[in-house]
Chains A and B, each alone.
Chain A
Amino acid sequence: GESVGLHLPTLSVQEGDNSIINCAYSNSASDYFIWYKQESGKGPQFIIDIRSNMDKRQGQRVTVLLNKTVKHLSLQIAATQPGDSAVYFCAERAGSARQLTFGSGTQLTVLP
C-alpha cells in the first residue's frame, strides 16, 4: 500500500450508494490479499480475502477485485450503510513471507 503519513485518504458516500476503496501494492511476489475494517477504538476486523490466482471474489455486500498487471486491489461495498463508516486497510503477503504488510488505510464516511 501507499504510505500517506498522518493524512489518511478519505472517501465520503451517501447512504445507499456503492463505495469503492482502492489500494496499490508494490510487491509483485504478493500472492494473498486481505481487506480489513477498523472502527474507532477497535482492532482490525477481517472482511474478505483473495488469492492471486483469482481476479474477483464476492462476499455479502462486498466484492474484491485484483488487477495483478497494475498491482491494484479494490474493495467495493454495495448499498453502503452508516455502520460501514470506518478505516479500511488492505494487506498483502508474499508467498515466501510469513507476515502481512498493511497499507495505510482509507477513511470511509457514510453520509445520511
Chain B
Amino acid sequence: EAGVAQSPRYKIIEKRQSVAFWCNPISGHATLYWYQQILGQGPKLLIQFQNNGVVDDSQLPKDRFSAERLKGVDSTLKIQPAKLEDSAVYLCASSLLRNQETQYFGPGTRLLVL
C-alpha cells in the first residue's frame, strides 16, 4: 500500500514570497491533516479535512495560510506571503473516517524562509 505522498520535499524562498505544498493521501482515507513542525517541537495541527470539507482550522493563520481539498483526495497548502517564522516542516497525514485516531504521516516538506 502506497503511503502519503508530499511534494516538494524541500523548498527555499525569500520572505514575502508565496509557496504551495501538495499532498496525496492514502487511497480511501477520507480524513486529511496538515501539520506544522517547527525544529525541536512536536507537530501542530493547522487544518483537518473530512472529504472536501474543513473540520477544524482553528490553528490555521488565515491571514496568510490557505488550504483546499477540492475533490476530496489531493490537498494543497499555500502560504502567501511567507514570513521567517514559517520555516518548518509541513507534514500531511491521512486516516480512515472510521478510525481517525490512526494517522499516517507523509515525509513532509521542509521549508526555509530567508
Seen from chain A, the residues whose Cβ lies within 8 Å of a Cβ on chain B are 1, 3-8, 32, 34, 41-46, 49, 89, 91, 93, 98-100, 102-105
Contact = CB atoms under 8 A, between A and B. Distances in A.
A34 B105 CA distance: 14
Q: How large is the interface on B (under 10, 10 to 19, 20 to 34, 35 or more residues)?
A: 20 to 34
A44 B40 contact: no
Interface of B: 4, 39-45, 48, 55-56, 91, 93, 100-108
A7 B40 contact: yes
B107 A41 contact: yes
Given A98-B48, A98-B55, A43 B105 contact: yes
A105 B102 CA distance: 19
Contacts, number: 53
A95 to B, nearest CB: 12
A45 to B, nearest CB: 7
B44 A102 contact: yes
A102 B43 contact: yes
Contacts of B102: 46, 49
A100 B103 CA distance: 10
A32 B102 CA distance: 11
Nearest to A4: B40
Q: Which of B91, B100, B103, B106 has the most CB of A within 10 A?
A: B103
